[in-house]
Chain A
Amino acid sequence: MTVSDTSVQDGGLSQYRERIETLARRYGLDFYPVDFELVPKTFMMEVAVYGLPVRMPHWSFGVRYIYQYVQHRMGHSHIFEVVFPGNPNRAYLERGNSLSENTLVTAHVLGHADFSRNNALFARMQKEVGDRIVEQAAARAHQIEDAIRRHGQERVEAVLDAALALEQHIDLNQALRRPPYPEWLAPPETPAPTPFESRYGRLPGESGQAPPAPEPRRAPVPPQPEADLLWFIAHHAPELEDWARDIFLAVREESYYFYPVFACHIMNEGWASYWHARLLREADFLPQALYLEAIKAHSDVVRPYAGEDAVALTVNPYHLGFAIWEHVVERRGLATAFRIRAEEDDFGFIRNCLDEELAHKLKLFKYQHEQRGSRDERVVVGEAGIDELRETLLAPRFNYGAPRILAVEKGRDGSLSLRHDVASDRRGLDLARAEKVLQYIHRVWRRPVRLETVGPEGAPHTLSVG
């Protein structure tokens, strides 16, 4: 285990860290080295907002930053750690936290490091984007700043507006580096002649000349509906300049990197919480006072949002994940838990591991939030089976949390046709927002852009810009 030791300047944290790491390995956690760094609170907030330590500049991050800042100042939000999977992992701890909190967080980070190395989805995406994404993102951020100097804030911002608005629109079933579309259609197979045709296909005396080969036909673009809008625009926008294409591809690559964090949120946080609790419990080298303080911080992190006996309308993912992992280890053993952390994402995890008994114990319920007008809103608790409960929990996580939008045609005039896959959500789009997004796209596509979706009544509705 090599850790850059000097990066953590603290009273004794690095000494505990080594022993916690040894302990973790003894339990079978398996992780790439972790670079720990203690940073100020403001930097923690930024990292949480940008998702990467150094990322491209965009005004929308500024808005999120201020929200985060206000939340923080009101005491609603406390960020303990941020870890970037990679080899080495990079973990940032808050400089102002107490030693006991940071000891807890160190154990927590090791849980994340184990998860990101062994989980299949993380491993696949890691393989796609490489394990130096933090450095790559920083390099690209500098490239973009350079582009701003050369091409002006307005132009670069227009490209970023479009690219970041489509951040979630990638196709996870495709590799990060895709081959281009075939340019020509495969010639239609000429069926083998039937015995009758081979006997009577020609008149007596006619020479055996084969019919002329059919002209090769250009393949349509795209050959089938394309879900990876970032890739499609990067490679098929009529007049995209190279620097703008780079921005689209940069956003796309970072999006691949973020996907596992998004799709394994409950599992990953639960796993890390499970392991920080367990490792601290087993760490007999910690002073009693420090242990107690750390366990108190732990229970703050994994408690339900509203406390034990109150009603909350959101579920703390740390709490839910932690409870499910405890349940799994208790009922099915640690080996099964390790297998599940390697194979599943949140979808499999919730569907397979959140059983009726646990849901009852956690007092989970499903509700309908009805809004009629701005003043009149109410929340009605409903009766829901376990399947319905699971699907409601998972609903916001489908397709990267975005409606499915497909590029269906690039017209002869270069225009772009998009289609909302209504069948996948049986709901229309928020038309006002969709129109704004089309305007973003139009500014980089520079040809008419249209989108088919359904209106509020379920009737087909087409938006077009340009």
Chain B
Amino acid sequence: MSSTAAHWYDLFSRGARDWLRHNAKIREAVREQFPELVAGADVLTRPGSRTVRVPVRFLEHYRFRLRDTGTESGVGQGPAQPGDVFRRPGAPGSGEAGGEGGAGGGELEFVLEFQVDDIVDWMWEELKLPDLKPRLADSLEDDGVVREGWDKRGPMARLDRRRTLKEAIKRHAAQPDAPEGFSNEDLRFRQLAERKRPSTRAVVLFVIDVSASMDRERRKLAKAFFFWVLQGLRRRYTGVEVVFLAHTNEAWEFGEEEFFKATASGGTVASSAFRLAQRILDERYDPARYNAYLFYASDGDNFADDRNAAHDSLTELARCMNFMGFLETPQNHLESARSETGRLFRALEARGLPVGSYTVHKDADIWEAIRAFFQQQSAQAA
């Protein structure tokens, strides 16, 4: 071996390779915690480059071991007398080399960073969620211009030189006596045609009931649901704008951060929020240019005297919406089927309007609700 030659171990570390594999396994294991991670961060409207940092422990490769009895004996060295008591065992490191590399030592923790986009991709695989396709038949349309075919006449700016050259070569092959060069016969121009394109812009209205009965736990559920819905819609539309509304007996528009923190005392008048949503749509989002979605999270209570108002405003909204979803986080399990707002949405659904409702009691139900939503959407698109 000459001193100049690089050895393979200068270029490649098996330890580092196996370490990376270990980290990959951890990443897989951490996937299970994603719902928690997502609920903890303001990830809804932030750009996709955001990351989530997760502290993790090393994986252990398990072996058969004797039970810990709480008292272990060992041999030490030094001027100690029988009966001496030490508080902490000092464990100096060892300079040992040999077959058994110790996996002992102190607890080490390290931090892994996850891209929010990666998390979303993984969840999509995990939940086997369908990718939404733009609905073509009844979807909104933008005007667009596409290239289509060639013509012998046209402005020089649209001259297709490649085509023209081909034509010239063909003509020379057919007429060997013809003079060299191009003739007007050879010219080919690109043609443009106007086409309708499905619109890729959407507005999503998230509406939450912030009356006292919606506690932290319920809002977390709502937030998780909103997050995944938004991710799904982002996959479908290139430009998604989000509007946050909260209501008690009146309704306000918020930014994302305040949205989940807002609490208010007061009654529950859902129609206030629906009317505000309608106004925002009318003022800012032309229904002819935007796909519109509305999601409403509530525990299902609504004042009885608001019943007719809520019904009318919701029906009106439904006409200019692609879809309206109702996420119900009921106070107790038995109530779920009979809540005021729940009945309202189900009535609309029965009339064939694009409306769905989902009942969620605990974290695990979120996935069912999300899957139900996306499957319903892809079924409608098909």
Q: Chain A residues near B97 (CB, 8 Å)?
A: 44, 48, 79-82
Given known pairs A49-B15, A377-B89, the reply for A161 and B61 (CB within 8 Å) is yes
**Does B94 sit at the interface, judged by CB under 8 A?**
yes
In contact, A77 and B73 (Cβ under 8 angstroms): no
Q: How far is the CB of B262 from chain A (nearest CB, A)?
A: 40
**Does A372 sit at the interface, judged by CB under 8 A?**
yes
Q: Chain A residues near B59 (CB, 8 Å)?
A: 59-60, 63
Q: Chain B residues near A44 (CB, 8 Å)?
A: 97
In contact, A50 and B75 (Cβ under 8 angstroms): no
Q: How far is the CB of B12 from chain A (nearest CB, A)?
A: 10
Given known pairs A49-B15, A258-B99, the reply for A165 and B67 (CB within 8 Å) is no
Looking across the interface, which residue of chain B has its beta carbon closest to that of A400?
Answer: B100
Given known pairs A62-B18, A367-B73, the reply for A433 and B91 (CB within 8 Å) is no
Looking across the interface, which residue of chain A has its beta carbon closest to that of B87?
Answer: A378
When each residue 271-301 of chain A gets 1 if its CB lies under 8 Å from chain B and 0 otherwise, what string results? 0000000000000000000000000000001
Given known pairs A62-B20, A67-B108, A71-B105, the reply for A311 and B81 (CB within 8 Å) is no
In contact, A364 and B16 (Cβ under 8 angstroms): no
In contact, B72 and A304 (Cβ under 8 angstroms): no
**Does A45 sit at the interface, judged by CB under 8 A?**
yes
Q: How far is the CB of B317 from chain A (nearest CB, A)?
A: 49
Given known pairs A40-B10, A306-B77, the reply for A433 and B62 (CB within 8 Å) is yes
- Give Cα distance in the complex from A366 to B81, angstroms: 10
- Give Cα distance in the complex from A60 to B19, angstroms: 8
Q: How far is the CB of B148 from chain A (nearest CB, A)?
A: 47
- Give Cα distance in the complex from A405 to B84, angstroms: 37
In contact, A381 and B67 (Cβ under 8 angstroms): no
When each residue 356-395 of chain A gets 1 if its CB lies under 8 Å from chain B and 0 otherwise, what string results? 0000001111111111100001111111000001001101
Given known pairs A76-B93, A381-B80, the reply for A62 and B75 (CB within 8 Å) is no
When each residue 33-77 of chain B gets 1 if its CB lies under 8 Å from chain A and 0 otherwise, what string results? 000000000000000000000000011111111111111111111
Q: Could you say which interface size class chain A belongs to? A: 35 or more
Number of A-B contacts (CB under 8 A): 280
Query: Which of B68, B78, B100 is within 8 Å of A430, CB to CB?
Result: B68
Q: How far is the CB of A374 from chain B (nearest CB, A)?
A: 12
Q: Chain B residues near A338 (CB, 8 Å)?
A: none
In contact, B85 and A378 (Cβ under 8 angstroms): yes
- Most chain A CB within a 10 A radius of its CB, from B2, B20, B70, B81: B70
Q: How far is the CB of A171 from chain B (nearest CB, A)?
A: 15
Interface residues of B, dominant DSSP: loop
**Does B143 sit at the interface, judged by CB under 8 A?**
no
Q: Chain B residues near A82 (CB, 8 Å)?
A: 97-98
Q: Chain A residues near B104 (CB, 8 Å)?
A: 67
Q: How far is the CB of A308 from chain B (nearest CB, A)?
A: 9
- Most chain A CB within a 10 A radius of its CB, from B9, B75, B91, B99: B75
Looking across the interface, which residue of chain A has its beta carbon closest to that of B78?
Answer: A311
Query: Which of A65, A364, A434 is within 8 Å of B19, CB to CB?
Result: A65
Q: Chain A residues near B84 (CB, 8 Å)?
A: 380-381
- Give Cα distance in the complex from A312 to B101, angstroms: 21
Looking across the interface, which residue of chain A has its beta carbon closest to that of B93?
Answer: A76
Q: How far is the CB of A111 from chain B (nearest CB, A)?
A: 14
- Give Cα distance in the complex from A45 to B143, angstroms: 65
Q: How far is the CB of A193 from chain B (nearest CB, A)?
A: 51
Query: Which of B58, B71, B78, B103 is within 8 Å of A310, CB to CB?
Result: B78
Partner-A contacts on B (CB < 8 A): 1-3, 7, 9-10, 13-23, 25, 58-105, 108
Sample of 9 further A-B pairs with CB below 8 A, known A258-B100, A312-B92, A314-B74? A49-B101, A60-B61, A313-B90, A365-B76, A365-B78, A381-B82, A405-B64, A430-B64, A434-B65
Partner-B contacts on A (CB < 8 A): 6-7, 9, 39-40, 42-46, 48-51, 54-55, 57-71, 74, 76-82, 153, 161, 164-169, 258, 261-262, 265, 301, 304-306, 309-319, 362-372, 377-383, 389, 392-393, 395, 401-403, 405, 420, 425, 427-431, 433-434, 436-437, 440, 456
